[in-house]
Amino acid sequence: MKYIDEFRSPKLVSGLLQNIKKSAAIYERPITIMEVCGSHTTAISRFGIRELLPETIHLVSGPGCPVCVTAIEEVDRALWLAAQPNHIFTCYGDLLRVPGSHLNSLEKIRATGAQVKTVHSALEAVALAQKYPEQKIIFMGIGFEATAPTVAAAILQAEKLKLKNFFLFSCHKLMPPVMHALLDEQELNLDAFLCPGHVSTIIGSKAYNFITERGLAAVVTGFEPVDILTGIAIILEQLINGVDEVKIQYRRAVKEQGNLKAQAIMSQVFSPATVNWRGLGRIEASGLVLRDAFSAFDALQHFSPPASQSQVNDACRCGDVLRGIIKPNDCKLFASTCTPTRPFGPCMVSNEGSCAAFYNHKI
Protein backbone atom coordinates (compact mmCIF):
# COMPACT_ATOMS: atom_id res chain seq x y z
CA MET A 1 0.00 0.00 0.00
CA LYS A 2 1.40 3.38 -1.02
CA TYR A 3 2.85 5.39 1.91
CA ILE A 4 2.80 2.25 4.07
CA ASP A 5 4.86 -0.40 2.26
CA GLU A 6 7.85 1.90 1.76
CA PHE A 7 8.03 2.47 5.52
CA ARG A 8 7.95 -1.29 6.18
CA SER A 9 10.46 -2.28 3.52
CA PRO A 10 12.59 -5.26 4.70
CA LYS A 11 15.47 -3.95 2.58
CA LEU A 12 15.38 -0.52 4.20
CA VAL A 13 14.99 -2.04 7.67
CA SER A 14 17.98 -4.32 7.09
CA GLY A 15 20.14 -1.42 5.92
CA LEU A 16 19.13 0.75 8.87
CA LEU A 17 19.91 -2.03 11.33
CA GLN A 18 23.39 -2.45 9.84
CA ASN A 19 24.04 1.28 10.21
CA ILE A 20 22.72 1.26 13.78
CA LYS A 21 24.96 -1.66 14.73
CA LYS A 22 28.02 0.05 13.23
CA SER A 23 27.26 3.31 15.03
CA ALA A 24 26.61 1.51 18.32
CA ALA A 25 30.01 -0.16 18.02
CA ILE A 26 31.65 3.21 17.43
CA TYR A 27 29.86 4.85 20.36
CA GLU A 28 30.75 1.85 22.60
CA ARG A 29 28.77 2.98 25.67
CA PRO A 30 25.23 1.81 26.54
CA ILE A 31 22.48 4.14 25.29
CA THR A 32 19.08 4.68 26.88
CA ILE A 33 16.38 6.12 24.63
CA MET A 34 12.89 6.95 25.88
CA GLU A 35 9.81 7.21 23.70
CA VAL A 36 7.01 9.30 25.17
CA CYS A 37 4.23 8.50 22.75
CA GLY A 38 1.77 5.67 23.27
CA SER A 39 1.62 5.01 19.52
CA HIS A 40 5.40 4.64 19.48
CA THR A 41 5.22 2.23 22.41
CA THR A 42 2.68 0.10 20.56
CA ALA A 43 4.62 0.19 17.29
CA ILE A 44 7.95 -0.69 18.94
CA SER A 45 6.34 -3.73 20.58
CA ARG A 46 4.26 -4.73 17.56
CA PHE A 47 7.20 -4.72 15.14
CA GLY A 48 9.67 -6.30 17.60
CA ILE A 49 12.08 -3.39 17.33
CA ARG A 50 13.66 -3.90 20.76
CA GLU A 51 14.71 -7.42 19.78
CA LEU A 52 16.34 -6.18 16.58
CA LEU A 53 18.63 -3.61 18.20
CA PRO A 54 22.14 -4.15 19.59
CA GLU A 55 22.27 -5.05 23.28
CA THR A 56 23.81 -1.68 24.13
CA ILE A 57 20.69 0.23 23.00
CA HIS A 58 17.91 0.26 25.57
CA LEU A 59 14.44 1.51 24.68
CA VAL A 60 12.27 2.53 27.61
CA SER A 61 8.66 3.66 27.50
CA GLY A 62 7.61 6.89 29.17
CA PRO A 63 4.30 8.57 30.07
CA GLY A 64 2.96 8.75 26.52
CA CYS A 65 -0.42 7.11 27.06
CA PRO A 66 -3.07 9.74 27.94
CA VAL A 67 -5.35 7.20 29.61
CA CYS A 68 -2.47 5.84 31.69
CA VAL A 69 -1.28 9.19 33.07
CA THR A 70 -4.78 10.21 34.18
CA ALA A 71 -4.47 10.45 37.96
CA ILE A 72 -6.60 8.19 40.13
CA GLU A 73 -8.28 11.20 41.75
CA GLU A 74 -9.35 12.32 38.27
CA VAL A 75 -10.89 8.90 37.67
CA ASP A 76 -12.66 9.12 41.03
CA ARG A 77 -14.04 12.56 40.17
CA ALA A 78 -15.27 11.15 36.87
CA LEU A 79 -17.05 8.35 38.72
CA TRP A 80 -18.75 10.88 41.03
CA LEU A 81 -19.81 13.12 38.14
CA ALA A 82 -21.16 10.18 36.16
CA ALA A 83 -23.21 8.93 39.10
CA GLN A 84 -25.18 12.16 39.57
CA PRO A 85 -28.84 12.24 38.45
CA ASN A 86 -29.78 13.88 35.14
CA HIS A 87 -26.19 13.63 33.95
CA ILE A 88 -24.94 12.05 30.74
CA PHE A 89 -21.24 11.47 31.19
CA THR A 90 -19.33 11.14 27.91
CA CYS A 91 -15.80 9.94 27.31
CA TYR A 92 -13.60 8.00 24.94
CA GLY A 93 -14.09 4.24 24.99
CA ASP A 94 -10.71 3.35 26.46
CA LEU A 95 -11.59 5.24 29.65
CA LEU A 96 -14.44 2.91 30.57
CA ARG A 97 -12.35 0.23 32.26
CA VAL A 98 -9.73 2.45 33.92
CA PRO A 99 -9.79 1.52 37.61
CA GLY A 100 -10.41 4.18 40.21
CA SER A 101 -10.26 3.59 43.95
CA HIS A 102 -11.40 0.10 45.03
CA LEU A 103 -11.11 -1.00 41.35
CA ASN A 104 -14.34 0.82 40.53
CA SER A 105 -14.74 2.03 36.92
CA LEU A 106 -17.09 3.89 34.60
CA GLU A 107 -18.00 0.56 33.03
CA LYS A 108 -19.08 -0.82 36.39
CA ILE A 109 -21.20 2.16 37.41
CA ARG A 110 -22.80 2.19 33.96
CA ALA A 111 -23.89 -1.37 34.66
CA THR A 112 -25.69 -0.08 37.77
CA GLY A 113 -27.64 2.51 35.79
CA ALA A 114 -25.38 5.55 35.39
CA GLN A 115 -25.68 7.26 32.00
CA VAL A 116 -22.19 6.83 30.59
CA LYS A 117 -21.81 7.12 26.82
CA THR A 118 -18.71 6.71 24.69
CA VAL A 119 -18.09 9.31 21.99
CA HIS A 120 -15.46 9.75 19.32
CA SER A 121 -15.04 13.49 19.83
CA ALA A 122 -16.00 16.41 22.06
CA LEU A 123 -18.16 17.75 19.23
CA GLU A 124 -20.24 14.58 19.47
CA ALA A 125 -20.84 15.43 23.13
CA VAL A 126 -21.87 18.96 22.11
CA ALA A 127 -24.42 17.41 19.74
CA LEU A 128 -25.81 15.38 22.64
CA ALA A 129 -26.23 18.59 24.64
CA GLN A 130 -28.29 20.02 21.78
CA LYS A 131 -30.37 16.84 21.51
CA TYR A 132 -31.07 16.50 25.24
CA PRO A 133 -31.44 20.06 26.63
CA GLU A 134 -33.00 18.73 29.86
CA GLN A 135 -29.88 16.68 30.63
CA LYS A 136 -26.46 17.91 31.75
CA ILE A 137 -23.81 16.61 29.38
CA ILE A 138 -20.26 16.23 30.71
CA PHE A 139 -17.32 15.43 28.45
CA MET A 140 -14.14 14.09 30.05
CA GLY A 141 -11.30 15.55 28.02
CA ILE A 142 -8.05 13.60 28.11
CA GLY A 143 -5.02 13.57 25.89
CA PHE A 144 -2.07 15.75 25.06
CA GLU A 145 -1.63 18.63 22.61
CA ALA A 146 -2.82 16.47 19.72
CA THR A 147 -6.40 16.29 21.07
CA ALA A 148 -6.71 19.50 23.09
CA PRO A 149 -7.33 21.79 20.06
CA THR A 150 -10.37 19.73 19.00
CA VAL A 151 -11.79 20.02 22.52
CA ALA A 152 -11.12 23.77 22.45
CA ALA A 153 -13.09 23.92 19.19
CA ALA A 154 -15.97 22.11 20.89
CA ILE A 155 -16.01 24.69 23.69
CA LEU A 156 -16.17 27.50 21.14
CA GLN A 157 -19.00 25.70 19.37
CA ALA A 158 -20.91 25.29 22.64
CA GLU A 159 -20.44 29.00 23.32
CA LYS A 160 -21.68 29.88 19.84
CA LEU A 161 -24.77 27.72 20.38
CA LYS A 162 -25.30 29.31 23.83
CA LEU A 163 -25.52 25.88 25.45
CA LYS A 164 -26.16 25.90 29.18
CA ASN A 165 -26.00 22.13 29.66
CA PHE A 166 -22.57 21.24 28.24
CA PHE A 167 -19.58 20.90 30.57
CA LEU A 168 -15.95 19.85 30.23
CA PHE A 169 -14.02 17.89 32.80
CA SER A 170 -10.52 18.73 31.58
CA CYS A 171 -7.81 16.17 32.29
CA HIS A 172 -5.63 17.32 29.40
CA LYS A 173 -1.88 17.27 29.88
CA LEU A 174 1.10 18.80 28.15
CA MET A 175 4.10 16.83 26.93
CA PRO A 176 7.14 19.19 27.19
CA PRO A 177 6.78 19.79 30.97
CA VAL A 178 6.75 16.08 31.79
CA MET A 179 9.69 15.44 29.47
CA HIS A 180 11.52 18.22 31.28
CA ALA A 181 10.76 16.52 34.60
CA LEU A 182 12.04 13.18 33.29
CA LEU A 183 15.42 14.74 32.52
CA ASP A 184 15.96 15.00 36.26
CA GLU A 185 15.11 11.33 36.95
CA GLN A 186 18.52 10.06 38.05
CA GLU A 187 17.41 6.43 37.91
CA LEU A 188 16.72 6.77 34.19
CA ASN A 189 20.01 8.37 33.11
CA LEU A 190 18.58 9.12 29.67
CA ASP A 191 20.67 9.78 26.57
CA ALA A 192 17.93 10.63 24.12
CA PHE A 193 14.22 11.03 23.41
CA LEU A 194 12.17 9.75 20.53
CA CYS A 195 9.80 12.71 20.54
CA PRO A 196 6.10 12.11 19.95
CA GLY A 197 4.82 12.30 16.40
CA HIS A 198 1.17 13.26 16.88
CA VAL A 199 1.87 15.88 19.54
CA SER A 200 4.63 17.37 17.42
CA THR A 201 2.28 18.01 14.50
CA ILE A 202 0.69 20.60 16.82
CA ILE A 203 3.56 22.04 18.88
CA GLY A 204 6.43 21.52 16.41
CA SER A 205 9.97 20.37 17.06
CA LYS A 206 11.00 23.71 18.58
CA ALA A 207 9.11 22.77 21.74
CA TYR A 208 11.86 20.26 22.58
CA ASN A 209 14.86 22.57 22.31
CA PHE A 210 15.38 22.31 26.07
CA ILE A 211 16.37 18.66 25.56
CA THR A 212 19.25 19.32 23.20
CA GLU A 213 20.29 22.31 25.32
CA ARG A 214 20.90 19.76 28.10
CA GLY A 215 23.12 17.74 25.73
CA LEU A 216 20.65 14.92 25.04
CA ALA A 217 19.72 13.77 21.56
CA ALA A 218 16.15 14.29 20.35
CA VAL A 219 14.38 13.19 17.17
CA VAL A 220 10.71 13.48 16.16
CA THR A 221 9.74 10.27 14.38
CA GLY A 222 6.77 8.63 12.73
CA PHE A 223 5.28 5.28 13.66
CA GLU A 224 6.39 2.76 11.05
CA PRO A 225 9.49 0.53 11.44
CA VAL A 226 11.55 2.61 9.00
CA ASP A 227 10.51 5.80 10.82
CA ILE A 228 11.52 4.52 14.23
CA LEU A 229 14.77 2.89 13.12
CA THR A 230 15.75 6.02 11.16
CA GLY A 231 15.10 8.03 14.32
CA ILE A 232 17.38 5.74 16.32
CA ALA A 233 20.08 5.99 13.63
CA ILE A 234 19.87 9.79 13.78
CA ILE A 235 20.15 9.69 17.58
CA LEU A 236 23.36 7.68 17.30
CA GLU A 237 24.75 10.21 14.80
CA GLN A 238 23.91 13.00 17.23
CA LEU A 239 25.60 11.25 20.14
CA ILE A 240 28.72 10.45 18.11
CA ASN A 241 29.10 13.80 16.34
CA GLY A 242 27.66 16.11 18.98
CA VAL A 243 24.11 17.23 19.60
CA ASP A 244 23.20 20.52 17.94
CA GLU A 245 19.43 20.64 17.43
CA VAL A 246 16.21 18.63 17.56
CA LYS A 247 15.95 16.60 14.36
CA ILE A 248 12.72 15.88 12.48
CA GLN A 249 12.51 12.47 10.82
CA TYR A 250 8.71 12.72 10.49
CA ARG A 251 8.84 15.57 7.97
CA ARG A 252 5.74 14.42 6.12
CA ALA A 253 3.68 15.61 9.10
CA VAL A 254 5.81 17.77 11.41
CA LYS A 255 7.26 21.26 11.03
CA GLU A 256 9.58 23.14 13.32
CA GLN A 257 6.88 25.69 14.25
CA GLY A 258 4.03 23.17 14.37
CA ASN A 259 0.40 24.02 13.60
CA LEU A 260 0.02 27.68 14.54
CA LYS A 261 -3.76 27.72 14.08
CA ALA A 262 -4.20 24.74 16.43
CA GLN A 263 -1.86 26.36 18.96
CA ALA A 264 -3.89 29.57 18.82
CA ILE A 265 -7.27 27.92 19.44
CA MET A 266 -5.80 25.87 22.29
CA SER A 267 -4.34 29.01 23.88
CA GLN A 268 -7.60 30.90 23.40
CA VAL A 269 -9.63 28.38 25.43
CA PHE A 270 -7.12 26.83 27.83
CA SER A 271 -4.40 28.01 30.18
CA PRO A 272 -1.59 25.88 31.67
CA ALA A 273 -1.97 24.63 35.24
CA THR A 274 -0.06 22.53 37.74
CA VAL A 275 -1.67 19.08 37.71
CA ASN A 276 -1.09 15.60 39.06
CA TRP A 277 0.19 12.80 36.82
CA ARG A 278 -0.18 9.17 37.76
CA GLY A 279 3.19 7.94 38.98
CA LEU A 280 4.91 11.30 38.49
CA GLY A 281 3.13 13.56 40.95
CA ARG A 282 2.39 17.24 40.49
CA ILE A 283 4.17 18.91 37.59
CA GLU A 284 4.11 22.66 37.13
CA ALA A 285 2.27 24.03 34.06
CA SER A 286 1.72 20.52 32.73
CA GLY A 287 -2.07 20.49 32.43
CA LEU A 288 -4.80 22.52 30.77
CA VAL A 289 -7.75 24.21 32.47
CA LEU A 290 -10.42 26.42 30.96
CA ARG A 291 -9.73 30.15 30.96
CA ASP A 292 -12.00 32.37 33.05
CA ALA A 293 -13.90 33.44 29.93
CA PHE A 294 -15.09 29.85 29.52
CA SER A 295 -15.55 28.93 33.19
CA ALA A 296 -19.31 28.41 32.65
CA PHE A 297 -18.36 25.18 30.86
CA ASP A 298 -16.07 23.91 33.66
CA ALA A 299 -17.58 20.76 35.18
CA LEU A 300 -15.51 20.95 38.36
CA GLN A 301 -16.55 24.54 39.06
CA HIS A 302 -20.20 23.91 38.25
CA PHE A 303 -20.71 20.62 40.13
CA SER A 304 -18.01 20.85 42.85
CA PRO A 305 -17.26 17.15 43.39
CA PRO A 306 -16.15 16.30 46.94
CA ALA A 307 -12.50 16.18 47.90
CA SER A 308 -10.94 12.98 46.66
CA GLN A 309 -10.25 10.13 49.08
CA SER A 310 -8.45 8.19 46.36
CA GLN A 311 -6.68 4.96 47.19
CA VAL A 312 -3.99 3.58 44.90
CA ASN A 313 -3.42 -0.16 44.76
CA ASP A 314 0.16 -0.43 46.03
CA ALA A 315 0.71 -3.76 44.28
CA CYS A 316 0.16 -2.13 40.87
CA ARG A 317 3.38 -0.54 39.61
CA CYS A 318 1.85 1.38 36.74
CA GLY A 319 3.43 4.57 38.08
CA ASP A 320 6.94 3.10 37.88
CA VAL A 321 6.22 1.85 34.36
CA LEU A 322 5.13 5.34 33.31
CA ARG A 323 8.36 6.80 34.69
CA GLY A 324 10.38 4.24 32.74
CA ILE A 325 11.89 2.89 35.96
CA ILE A 326 10.71 -0.68 35.33
CA LYS A 327 9.43 -2.69 32.40
CA PRO A 328 5.83 -3.92 32.55
CA ASN A 329 6.85 -7.53 33.09
CA ASP A 330 8.83 -6.48 36.18
CA CYS A 331 5.52 -5.90 37.98
CA LYS A 332 4.40 -8.96 39.96
CA LEU A 333 0.80 -8.49 38.79
CA PHE A 334 1.68 -8.45 35.10
CA ALA A 335 -0.06 -11.16 33.02
CA SER A 336 -1.17 -13.02 36.13
CA THR A 337 -3.53 -10.99 38.28
CA CYS A 338 -3.50 -8.04 35.86
CA THR A 339 -4.58 -8.66 32.25
CA PRO A 340 -6.41 -6.56 29.62
CA THR A 341 -9.70 -8.23 30.56
CA ARG A 342 -9.07 -7.75 34.30
CA PRO A 343 -6.84 -4.68 34.65
CA PHE A 344 -5.50 -3.44 37.97
CA GLY A 345 -4.00 -0.30 36.44
CA PRO A 346 -4.57 1.91 33.37
CA CYS A 347 -1.32 0.80 31.71
CA MET A 348 -3.07 -2.52 30.99
CA VAL A 349 -6.31 -0.88 29.80
CA SER A 350 -5.43 1.33 26.85
CA ASN A 351 -3.94 -0.13 23.68
CA GLU A 352 -1.29 2.60 24.00
CA GLY A 353 -0.36 1.51 27.51
CA SER A 354 3.04 -0.13 27.98
CA CYS A 355 1.61 -3.08 29.90
CA ALA A 356 -1.02 -3.76 27.24
CA ALA A 357 1.62 -3.49 24.50
CA PHE A 358 3.91 -5.97 26.28
CA TYR A 359 0.99 -8.31 26.98
CA ASN A 360 -0.57 -8.19 23.50
CA HIS A 361 2.74 -8.72 21.73
CA LYS A 362 4.02 -11.31 24.23
CA ILE A 363 7.20 -9.52 25.23
| pLDDT tens column, 134-185 | 999 999 999 999 999 999 999 999 999 999 999 999 999 999 999 999 998 8
Question: Sign of the C-alpha dihedral, residues 118, 323, 351, 227?
Answer: positive
pLDDT tens track for 190-239: 999 999 999 999 999 999 999 999 999 999 999 999 999 999 999 999 99
Alpha-carbon distance of 358 to 348, in angstroms, equals 9
Closest-CA residue to 310 (of 70, 65, 66) = 70
Confidence of residue 187 (pLDDT cuts 50, 70, 90): confident
Helix (H) or strand (E) holding 122: helix 122-131
Q: Is the pLDDT of residue 273 over 60?
A: yes
Greatest CA separation for the chain: 68
Output the CA angle 110-338-108, nearest 5 degrees: 5
Stated as kind and residue range, the H or E segment containing 273 is strand 270-277
Mean pLDDT of all residues in the chain? 94
Q: Which domains does the chain have, with CATH numbers?
A: 5-56+176-238 (3.40.50.11750), 67-174+258-303 (3.40.50.11740), 318-360 (no CATH)
- The DSSP line for 187-205 is TT---EEEE-HHHHHHH-G
Q: How far is CA 348 from CA 56, 278, 281, 335, 357, in A?
A: 28, 14, 20, 9, 8
Distances (CA, A) of 316 to 33, 185, 262, 329: 24, 20, 37, 12
